[in-house]
Homo-oligomer: A and B are copies of this chain.
Amino acid sequence: MVGEDEKRSVFGDQAGSVELLWGGRERPSRGPRPALSLELITRTAIALADAGGLGAVSMQRVAGELDFTKMSLYRYVPGKNELVALMIDSAMGEPPQLPGGWRNGLRAWAETLTAVYHRHPWLLGAATGPRVMGPNELGWTEAAVAALADTGLSGGEQLDAVVVVSGHVRALAQVSASMGLGSARATEPEQVMSAALNELLVGRADRYPAVAAALAATEADAAERDRADEFGLERILDGLEAYMGGSR
């Protein structure tokens, strides 16, 4: 009926992204040589996003940055969604080489992923909703799963563990991204969270006693603020380790 590809299957709307991300695009032989390239367009778009967030990326601006009309971009990319998909996979970059030992490996994985989110904060907002994984993104997953391959965890458990760790990294990067809020420009996630929470809690401590107490305790003890980002990850790793030890 639908005389197209039979490539739809699981990917309904996203067939275009799948082709762009995974398909081997061969240059057609006729017609003039393209003046642009997917890589160049993607790189330019990423630069714009790094500088001004995802909102600063429009077809017009990307094209303008390259001294082309916006419509020329549509010769390379079917639409903006597909461009964003390319941006995501390109910004992720090659997955890291991990040190041996699942715990060290996963920790290094989390750290490099954190660095990626720090470098491209817009990834936090772009990677939401139904999406297609690109080669690099799947490569990151591969690296993390590979680190867990010999732990005795089942296949599903390995995947779940990766989801947990990556979710935690995301969550922490999210908090850290709130740094862009005021003029304070604190560097530690918790400091910002503290500042924002503190301001809201002024005169409302009775309504939110537990948060207020936790916050007050945090401010009194400056030492613990340094290990803020490590705490969560180590707890997760502890939980995995305990499970592996108990069920193997």
A residues contacting B by CB (< 8 A) are 8-12, 14, 18, 22, 53, 124-125, 128-133, 138-139, 141-142, 145-146, 148-149, 154-161, 163-164, 166-168, 170-172, 174-175, 177-184, 190, 193, 195-197, 199-200, 207-211, 213-218, 221, 224-225, 228, 231-232, 234-240, 242-243
Contact = CB atoms under 8 A, between A and B. Distances in A.
Nearest to A178: B130
A217 B157 CA distance: 10
A160 B189 CA distance: 10
Contacts of A231: 156-157, 160-161
A11 B213 CA distance: 22
A140 B121 CA distance: 26
Contacts of A199: 9-11
A10 B155 contact: no
Contact of A224 (B22, B156, B196, B214): B156
Given A133-B200, A145-B214, A166 B171 contact: yes
Contacts of A139: 208
A237 B236 contact: no
A140 B106 CA distance: 30
B155 A216 contact: yes
15 contacts: A11-B182, A12-B182, A124-B129, A138-B208, A146-B209, A154-B224, A156-B217, A156-B218, A160-B231, A167-B167, A167-B172, A237-B239, A238-B243, A239-B242, A242-B242
Contacts of A146: 209-210
A73 B228 CA distance: 42
